[in-house]
C-alpha cells in the first residue's frame, strides 16, 4: 500500500500569548490526503483552519502530532509543498515573469528550461501579454493568478491554499474558481484548500472536512460525489449540489452558533 501524499496525525496546536492563559487552536486533528486529491477545510471563523494548513506547510509547529509527506516526516517548510495565501504575496519590484521565475531560484534546471517552464505556466493562467507587467499594474484576480503560477512552477507535491480568493469580488472569484479547476484537472496536483465558502468547497473538492469551533477538531467528512469536469453553471441547477450545500451549511452553522454562544456566555464555555 502506498503512503498518502499528506498525513497529519493527532495534531495539536497550542498558543500562550503574553500575559494570557494558554489556548488550544487545534485539538487532536487527523487528516489524510491522497495523491491527486482535492480536499477542502471549512468551518466557522477562527476555528483553526488556517493554523492547521500552516502546520502542514511547516510554518506553524504543532505542539503534538506528526506530519508526513509521502511517508517522510516534515517539520519545516520545503519545496515539496507550495503555499498560496489570501494576500497577494508578490514582489512589487519584479515583473510577472520574474515573480514566477523567482520560485525556481534554487532549481538545478538549466536557464532555458526555467524560461520554458515559466512561459508554460503564464499560458496556463492566461496572462500572456502581461509577462513584463508589475503587480501594481494588475487587477487582484490577475495578481492571484501569478501567485498560483509561482506556487506551481517548481511542481510541488502538494499545493496548500489559504482562502486564495477571499479578497476578490464575486465575479472575479467565480472566474478564479474556474481557472483553478482547469489548472487542477490539467496538473492533477494534490490540494489542501481552506475556504469559508461552502459553494466553493463543493465545486472544487473531492472531499470536504468540516471543523468545529475552537478548539478546532474534525467534525465531519463529506465526500463530494459530483462528476468531473465541473463548471459553475452546471452546479447552479444540480439537485445534488443543493443537497451538499444544505448539509454543509447546517454543520457549519451549528458550530458557528456554539462559538457565538460561548462569546456571550464565557462562563458556560
Q: Model confidence over 41-81: pLDDT tens digits?
A: 999 888 899 999 999 999 999 999 999 999 999 889 998 99
Pick the closest to residue 176 from 149, 157, 153, 198 (CA basis): 149
The three cell numbers locating residue 46: 477562527
Q: Model confidence over 1-55: pLDDT tens digits?
A: 678 999 999 999 998 878 778 889 999 999 999 999 999 999 988 889 999 999 9
Task: Determine contact, residues 170/205, Cβ cutoff 8 Å.
Answer: no
Q: What is this structure's pTM?
A: 0.92
Q: What residue ranges define each of the domains in the chain, with the CATH number in brackets?
A: 6-80+157-268 (3.40.50.300), 88-155 (no CATH)
CA angle 118, 147, 70 (to 5 degrees): 85
Amino acid at each position: 500500500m502506498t503512503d498518502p501524499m499528506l498525513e497529519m496525525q493527532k495534531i495539536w496546536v497550542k498558543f500562550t500569548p503574553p500575559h494570557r492563559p494558554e489556548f488550544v487552536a487545534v485539538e487532536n486533528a487527523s487528516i489524510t490526503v491522497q495523491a491527486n486529491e482535492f480536499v477542502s477545510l471549512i468551518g466557522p471563523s477562527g476555528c483553526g483552519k488556517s493554523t492547521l494548513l500552516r502546520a502542514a506547510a511547516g510554518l506553524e509547529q504543532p505542539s503534538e502530532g506528526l506530519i508526513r509527506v509521502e511517508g517522510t516526516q516534515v517539520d519545516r517548510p520545503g519545496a515539496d509543498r507550495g503555499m498560496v495565501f489570501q494576500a497577494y504575496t508578490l514582489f512589487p519590484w519584479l515583473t510577472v515573469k520574474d515573480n514566477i521565475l523567482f520560485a525556481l531560484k534554487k532549481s538545478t534546471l538549466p536557464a532555458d528550461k526555467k524560461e520554458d517552464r515559466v512561459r508554460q505556466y503564464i499560458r496556463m493562467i492566461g496572462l500572456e501579454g502581461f509577462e513584463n507587467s508589475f503587480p501594481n499594474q494588475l487587477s487582484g484576480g490577475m495578481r492571484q493568478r501569478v501567485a498560483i503560477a509561482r506556487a506551481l512552477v517548481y511542481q510541488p507535491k502538494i499545493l496548500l491554499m489559504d482562502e486564495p480568493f477571499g479578497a476578490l469580488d464575486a465575479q472575479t472569484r467565480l472566474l478564479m474558481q474556474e481557472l483553478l479547476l482547469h489548472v487542477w484537472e490539467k496538473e492533477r496536483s494534490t490540494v489542501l484548500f481552506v475556504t469559508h465558502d461552502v459553494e466553493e468547497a463543493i465545486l472544487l473538492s473531492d472531499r470536504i472536512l468540516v471543523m468545529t469551533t475552537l478548539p478546532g477538531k474534525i467534525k465531519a467528512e463529506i465526500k463530494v460525489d459530483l462528476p468531473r469536469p465541473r463548471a459553475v453553471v452546471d452546479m447552479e441547477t444540480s439537485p445534488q449540489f443543493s443537497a451538499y450545500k444544505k448539509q454543509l451549511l447546517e454543520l457549519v452553522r451549528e458550530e458557528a452558533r456554539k462559538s457565538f454562544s460561548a462569546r456571550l456566555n464565557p462562563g458556560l464555555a
